[in-house]
Each structure stands twice: as structure tokens, then as C-alpha cells.
Amino acid sequence: MRDARGQIRRLPGLRLWLSGGWLTFLVLAAVFAPLISPHDPLAQDLFAGRLPPVWEQGADPAYLLGTDSLGRDVLSRMLHGGRLALIVALVAGTLTCLIGASLGLIAGYYRGWADLVISRFIDIWMAFPPVLFAILLIAVIGTGLMSVIIAIVVIDWTRFARVVRAEAMSQGAMDYVASAQVAGRSRLGTALSEILPNVLPTIVALLTLEMGIAVIVEAILSFVNLSISTDQPTWGGMIAEGRTSIYQAWWVLVFPLFALFLTVLSFSQLGEGLKDHFDPVLR
């Protein structure tokens, strides 16, 4: 008999397009930042300080989004800041994912001793307050891009591990896993071929979420001057600086804040959209 139930599925990925669009734009902007920036992001010009964006009165068309108190071009700084944000997002996000997901998979599928050890480890690790932990870590290893990345990985891998462990456990109870065992597959083989593909949508969603979080953590760290060295423009740094002159030059704070917001939102929406896309049952 014809069965229409398979046709009842979700709307196609509109959010996939929108979020992908912003992120693609961001990637291009970041990659070509040195080429398309109208000014040197570090160049100061005290006579051109606090110029408003080009559509306001008293603006200078050479500085499209205005300048900050030191006369540095906001647009150029944003483009370069975007570059750093992306690097942090991609590298920190991916590393966190790899470490956390692997440990979670092992704990959730193999159970037994591995699970005992890894789970206790996660519990103890998560007992540290994350922000303090990050600050402590950076105090010890010093500031810089690598430090930021390491700090993010160190704090957030447990998020992946917990979720992936739970997913792996529920997958492990499925009959198709038992079927693989009946056919004679080794445990490692089963983990890779039966469990991992089914856990993948969750991992993808978490990964994009993590990328958004990484961007925010970096912004927080640069807000407190613990991020990359202070002459490199970062969105968080710009927000911190813009805070002091918010009444005189709102644009210095608002534009990077807006970019931050859009980026994090796009990452999470991308994750949702990709997760649906990867799941053949929902196609």
C-alpha cells in the first residue's frame, strides 16, 4: 500500500543559506582583509579621530564606518579582527571537537574502565570555574593566539565529551550494533562504522556551536586584555575600547558588537541546518 508517512518531513534549509551567506562573506573578508582594507588597521591619525560613519553628518568618505579615538579606521580594524575571530573559531573549535568527541565516543561505546576513568576525569575537570581557569591558564602560559586557542580547548572539551558519550551510549544499545557484533566486527570497527556516522549530526551541530563560543571567549579575553597582543585589532578589544567613548562615538562599539552577534548566530544556525542535512532520515 502506498505509505505517505515518509513524505512528512521538515522545511528545507533556509537558515542554512542565510547563515552560510554571512559566514562566507566573513571568510572572504577575512582572507582578503589586507587587500581590501582601505587603511592600515594600526595607522593612527589624531586629526581624524572619532569620525562618524559615512552616512552621518561630519563624516569623511575615506572612513566608511568611521574612526575610533585614535583615528584608526573602524572598517579596516573590523576586517582584520574578523580574520582573528575566524582563526580562533576554526582552530579552537576543531581541536576541542576532536579531543572531546573522541573521549566521549570511547567512554560511551566501550563503557567499563574507560568510561569510569573518563567520566570521573570530566566531572573533576568541570568543577573548575571556566573563566577563572582561562585567566589562570593564560597567566601561566602568557598571552597570544596559541594561548587563547589552548584556553578554549582546555575549557570546552568536556562539553563535547559529555554529549557524545550520551549519544554513543544510546547508539550502542541499538540492534544494528548487536548485528555488527553478530557478524564478527571488532569493537573498534563497530565504533567507526556504526556508531560514529549516527553521532555525526550531533557532533556537527556542537562543532558549529563551539565555533561561536570560541569567538565569544576570545572577545571576552580581549575585553580583559588577556587575548592576543594589544596592537592587533580584535572585535573584543574594539568593544572594550568603544565602551569608554560610547556617547561620543557609538560606532566604535556597535559595529564590532553587531558583527560578533551575527557571526555567533550564523554559526549556531549553520549547525542546525547542517545537522538536518546530514541526517538521511529527515531528507
Partner 1 sequence: MSGMIYELKDLKVSFPDMSRKPFFGAAPRIEVLKGLTFDIPKGEVLGIVGGSGSGKSTLGRALIRLIEPDSGAIRFEGTDISHLGEDSLRPLRRRFQMIFQDPMSSLNPRRRVGGIIAGPMRLQGLDNIRGRVDEALDMVGLPRAFAARYPHELSGGQRQRVGIARAIALKPDFILADEIVSGLDVSSQAQVLNLLESLVKDLGLTLAFISHDLSVIRRLCSRILVLYKGEIVENAKTPELFANPQAEYTRTLLDAIPLPDPEQVWF
Partner 2 sequence: MSYLSIQDLEVRLTNGTPLLRRVSLDVEPGEVRALVGESGAGKSMIGKAVLGILPRAARLTGGAILLDGENLESLSPKARRQRIGAKVALIPQDPLTALNPSRRVGPQVTDRLVDILGWKRSEAEMRALELLEEVHIQAPDRVMKAYPHELSGGMRQRILIASAFAAEPKLIIADEPTTALDVTVQKQILKLIRDMQQRHGTALLFVTHDLGVVSKIAQTLTVLYAGKVVEATDVGAFFAHPAHAYSRALLAATPKYTDPESSLTPVPGSVIAAVEGEVAAFDAELSGAGRR
Q: How far is the CB of 10 from partner 2 (least distance, A)?
A: 9
Q: For the chain, how many residues are written?
A: 283
How far is the C-alpha of 30 from the C-alpha of 23, rounded, in Å? 10
Any contact of residue 136 with partner 1 (CB under 8 A)? no
Q: Check: CB of residue 82 under 8 Å from CB of residue 65.
A: no
Any contact of residue 123 with partner 1 (CB under 8 A)? no
Any contact of residue 57 with partner 2 (CB under 8 A)? no
Among 38, 136, 186, 243, the residue binding partner 1 under the rule CB under 8 A is 186
Which residues on neighbouring strands pair with residue 73, listed in sequence order?
Answer: 67
Q: How far is the CB of 4 from partner 2 (least distance, A)?
A: 5
- Tell me, residue by residue from 188 to 207, as one string, x for binding to partner 1 by CB under 8 A and - for no binding: -x---xx--xx---------
SS (H, E, C) 173-195: CCHHHHHHHHHCCCHHHHHHHHH
Among 56, 146, 179, 248, the residue binding partner 1 under the rule CB under 8 A is 179
Any contact of residue 9 with partner 2 (CB under 8 A)? yes
Any contact of residue 35 with partner 2 (CB under 8 A)? no
End-to-end CA distance of the chain: 22
Among 92, 180, 214, 259, the residue binding partner 1 under the rule CB under 8 A is 180
Q: Candidates 3-11, 74-82, 146-154, 157-165: pick the segment binding partner 2 (CB under 8 A).
A: 3-11
Task: State residue 194 phi and psi, 5-degree precision.
Answer: -105, -45
Q: Check: CB of residue 198 under 8 Å from CB of residue 206.
A: no
In Å, how far are 49, 50, 66, 136 from 63, measured between CA atoms?
11, 10, 5, 39
Any contact of residue 112 with partner 1 (CB under 8 A)? no
**In the chain, at which residue ranges do the beta strands (DSSP E only) sit?**
none
Any contact of residue 8 with partner 2 (CB under 8 A)? yes
Give the residue among 51, 82, 83, 53 at the shortest CA–CA distance from 68.
51
How far is the C-alpha of 54 from the C-alpha of 38, rounded, in Å? 14
Q: How many residues bind partner 2 (CB under 8 A)?
A: 8
Q: Candidates 80-88, 153-161, 184-192, 202-210: pick the segment binding partner 1 (CB under 8 A).
A: 184-192
Any contact of residue 7 with partner 2 (CB under 8 A)? yes
Any contact of residue 175 with partner 1 (CB under 8 A)? yes
Any contact of residue 4 with partner 2 (CB under 8 A)? yes
Q: Check: CB of residue 218 under 8 Å from CB of residue 236.
A: yes
Residues near partner 1 (CB under 8 A) are 3, 6, 174-176, 178-186, 189, 193-194, 197-198, 280-281
